[in-house]
Amino acid sequence: MPYHQGKCPQCGQVITPTRCLEANTLRRDVLECPNCRARILECRFPGCHDYALGGKVWDNDFCPDCTKQVSQTAIAGGLAIVLGKCLGRRKLPPWIIQ
C-alpha cells in the first residue's frame, strides 16, 4: 500500500514513508520516516496529511501542528459551551462578573 507525502514530526522534512514497521488493521499502520528513521503514524486530523510521532508507550493522534490546533480549539470550544449554557439560563457565571 503506497503512503502519501507528509511532514515528519521528528525531522520536519516532507517525506513519503516507504516502509511499514507494523501493519495494523484496526489501528493505524506504524510507518518509518525514510529520512530520520522515526516511528510515524498518519495524523488523525481530518484533511491533514502530515504524520504524528509514534512512541514506545503510545502513539500520538495528531501531528505537532494539529496537536497545537486541537488544544486551542478544545479550549475555545469548551469556553463557548460554558458561555452558551450560562447565557441560555440568563445567568453569567461568577467568574465573569469578578
Residues that bind Zn ion in the complex, under the rule CB under 5 A: 8, 10-11, 33, 35-36, 38, 43, 45, 48, 50, 63, 66
Burial 23-56 (b: 16+ CB within 10 A, else e): eeeeebbbbbbeeeebbbbbbebeebebbbbbee
Q: Which is nearer to Zn ion, 16 or 24 (CB)?
A: 16
- How distant, in Å, are the alpha carbons of 35, 60, 66, 84, 97 from that of 29? 18, 12, 19, 40, 50
Nearer to Zn ion, 30 or 66 (CB): 66
* Nearer to Zn ion (CB atom), residue 27 or residue 85: 27
CA dist 88 and 47 (Å) reads 34
Closest contact distance (angstroms) between CB of 69 and Zn ion is: 8
**Minimal distance, residue 93 CB to Zn ion, in Å:** 33
Minimum CB separation of residue 72 from Zn ion in Å reads 13
Nearer to Zn ion, 4 or 85 (CB): 4
